[in-house]
Structure 1
Amino acid sequence: MALRPVMVNIKALDGSAVGRFWAEALGWSAYSPGVTTYVGPVGGLVWPDPVFVCVDVVPVPEPKTTAKNRVHLDLATTSAAHQAELVARLKALGATPAHVGQGDVPWTVLADPEGNEFCVLEPRDIYRDTGPIAAVVVDCADPQAMARFWGEAMDWTLHEVTDEHAVFRSAKGVGPYLEFLRTPDVRTVPDRVHLDLLPYPGDDKAAEVDRLRALGATDLDLGQGDVPWTCLADPEGHEFCVLAPS
């Protein structure tokens, strides 16, 4: 049994507008198969995408608070000129500079039109084959503990773990990285951005959820009601959902 990250779920007051922003930002397309806006590679709706972790924007009535999100996207660039062009284009689309205590760094921190922070990285060799999303980054208190939980929770490969960070990537060596970074921040509000995980076809979702609970996940009531997915939190309280297999 195994799970794989398939989507980054972003809550938004105006899901369609935020979905369009992220489609333009990533060079992908925005699809609206239902209430949510799914952002994935150009060429028609394919779900789950076999390579990329995509974006699903979900409309909610509550605006983002001033608290920094604990999950954000890092966008890849291939040159200094590409980084500058991408930052300028994103600002023209409605992104704004964000200050999260980053100081003087070679990457640029921005926020989408509803304040969700993300980074436009300087060129790095490690991210040259990831596609537009270099990494999904999760703030945490204990990267080694996160490596133990998430290493058992999903079928991705652990590339590196230290006291400061843990780094995963698909076992196929494709798509973005998943990185847990040690930060002093603590959770003060519900997560605005979270991961959605999917069992493989033929696997038992209920058994997967039970397995996650045994690893230390806890049930999470977000007022979701009777839905086909299960909302959980990891041992540090990061929200995530286990979707029903297709």
Structure 2
Amino acid sequence: MVAGNWKMNTTPAEGAALAQAVIEHVGTPGTKVVFGVPAIQLTQIQALTSKAPGFYVAAQNMHQEDSGAYTGEISARMLAAAGVDYVILGHSERRDYFGEDDTLIHAKILKALAAGVQPIYCCGEKLNIRQAGNHEMVVGKQIEQALFTLEAEQMRQVVIAYEPVWAIGTGVTASPEQAQDMHAFIRRMIHNYFGQDVAESTTILYGGSVKPDNAEELFGMPDVDGGLVGGASLDAAGFAAIVKAL
């Protein structure tokens, strides 16, 4: 899978043009291609992807309740009713700017799964944690808190995105070896808790400054199953090149 996280970018007209251009550049993809778009664009991008095999749409967030007095929020049931395929949960920007922790994210994951929307669960460490050598401990705790009460069949519906926070939007990328080491660690955790079949079938994406010039090397690592792409997903030709690298 290659998923593009547009974040708070593009107007509806710009988003429609961007998605259409990516679809035309890629043609029939050899992997799943996901557009993570602003909420105001979900239905229009869903309409485009529904006619383009291999392309899907993701929300960038959702609320943990089904309904209620939560002004400005969107529920998993609403996303499902709109035909949304995926939802990005636990992104580092949601954690940093909005104080989300894995207890809350876990509740969102359960609601998404119950509604039939597949979570793309983000985890990762900050630079000081990496420098202290505590990255496996921190990422392991995130995964344990967010995912380890799920049943095996629920876990099969979850995509994991490892995003070293120190490599998001900085232009710094984890080396292919660093990415592989963390992806292998995550897969071992899934194996130890859910078993080999679930671990082997779990898609684990790398999400830290993926670009056309480093995508092929990153995606060539045995436990890297694709990417969660930020800024580079806003350029149709560049994002298409990343897709084709997988």
Q: Give the TM-score band, short-chain normalised.
A: 0.3 to 0.5
Greater share of strand: 1
Greater share of helix: 2
Q: Give the alignment's TM-score, normalised by structure 2.
A: 0.32
